[in-house]
C-alpha cells in the first residue's frame, strides 16, 4: 500500500466520508469569511485611526469651529467618525442656541447628540467582530467533531480485517487529523484578529469619549 499517495491531503479530503467532507466544507467557508472580515476590518480601523488623527489636528489647531462644522457637514463620508460626532454635537448646539435655550439645556442636548453619534460609530466599527469571536471559539469544536467521526470510521474498518496494520488505520486517523488541522486553521487567525481589533476599537472609543468631554467644556463656555 502506497501510504504517501493515500495520505496526501487531497486524497484524504476526497476519500473522506460525506459527514467529514461537510465538516471540512463548513470550516473552509468559515475560514474564508473570517479572512474576508479580517482584511475588511483591518482597512476600516486603519482608515478610522487616520481620519481621527487628522480631525484632531484640525480641531485643536485653533481654527474657527463654524468653518470646521461647515467642512464636516459637506464631507461627512470623509471626515471620519470623530468628525461626525463633532458635527452632531455642533448641529444640536446651534439649533438650541437659535431657540434661546438656557446653558444647561444647550449642553445636555449637544451631549446627547454626540452620545447618539458615538454609539452609531462604535456599532459600525464593531460590526462583524462577533463573527470572528464565534469562529474562533466554535471552529476547533467543529473540527473535533470531524476528528471523532474519522476515528470512529477508522476503528469500524478494523472489524473487517483479520490483522490490523498501520496501512488499515492510517487513512482514517489522517482524515481525522485533517479535520482538526482545518478547524485550528479557521480558529487561530479569527481569535488573533478579534483580540487585536477589540483593542484598537477600545482605544478609539477612549479617544471619542475624551473628545466628547473636552468639546462639551468648550460648548459650555460658549453657552455662558
Tell me the pTM.
0.82
What would the pLDDT profile of 54-84 be if each residue is shown by its tens digit? 999 989 987 788 888 998 888 887 889 999 9
Question: What's the whole-number average pLDDT of the chain?
Answer: 85
What would the pLDDT profile of 197-214 be if each residue is shown by its tens digit? 999 999 999 999 999 999
Give the three-state DSSP class for 126.
coil
Distance CA 28, CA 179 (A): 10
Q: Which of 135-139, 201-205, 220-224 has the lowest mean pLDDT?
A: 220-224
**Residues in CB range of 169: below 8 A, 6 or more apart:** 154, 158
Contact 172, 150 (CB under 8 A): yes
What would the pLDDT profile of 145-192 be if each residue is shown by its tens digit? 888 887 887 777 666 666 656 566 666 677 778 888 889 999 999 999
Q: Please tell me the predicted confidence (pLDDT) of residue 107.
A: 85
Q: Which of 41-45, 89-93, 106-110, 174-178 has the lowest mean pLDDT?
A: 174-178
Q: Please tell me the predicted confidence (pLDDT) of residue 5.
A: 44
Q: What is the CA radius of gyration of the chain?
A: 28
Amino acid at each position: 500500500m502506497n501510504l504517501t499517495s493515500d495520505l496526501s491531503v487531497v486524497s484524504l479530503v476526497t476519500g473522506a466520508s460525506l459527514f467529514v467532507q461537510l465538516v471540512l466544507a463548513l470550516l473552509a467557508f468559515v475560514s474564508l469569511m473570517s479572512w474576508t472580515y479580517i482584511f475588511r476590518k483591518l482597512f476600516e480601523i486603519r482608515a478610522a485611526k487616520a481620519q481621527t488623527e487628522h480631525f484632531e489636528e484640525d480641531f485643536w489647531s485653533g481654527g474657527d469651529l463654524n468653518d470646521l462644522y461647515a467642512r464636516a457637514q459637506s464631507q461627512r463620508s470623509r471626515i471620519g467618525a470623530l468628525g461626525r460626532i463633532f458635527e452632531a454635537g455642533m448641529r444640536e448646539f446651534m439649533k438650541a442656541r437659535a431657540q434661546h435655550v438656557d446653558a444647561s439645556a444647550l449642553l445636555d442636548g449637544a451631549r446627547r447628540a454626540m452620545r447618539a453619534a458615538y454609539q452609531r460609530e462604535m456599532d459600525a466599527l464593531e460590526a462583524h467582530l462577533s463573527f470572528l469571536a464565534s469562529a474562533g471559539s466554535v471552529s476547533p469544536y467543529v473540527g473535533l467533531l470531524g476528528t471523532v467521526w474519522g476515528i470512529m470510521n477508522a476503528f469500524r474498518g478494523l472489524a473487517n480485517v483479520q490483522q490490523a496494520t498501520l496501512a488499515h488505520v492510517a487513512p482514517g486517523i489522517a482524515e481525522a487529523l485533517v479535520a482538526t488541522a482545518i478547524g485550528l486553521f479557521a480558529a487561530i487567525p479569527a481569535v488573533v484578529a478579534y483580540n487585536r481589533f477589540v483593542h484598537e476599537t477600545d482605544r478609539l472609543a477612549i479617544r471619542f469619549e475624551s473628545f466628547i468631554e473636552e468639546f462639551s467644556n468648550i460648548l459650555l463656555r460658549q453657552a455662558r
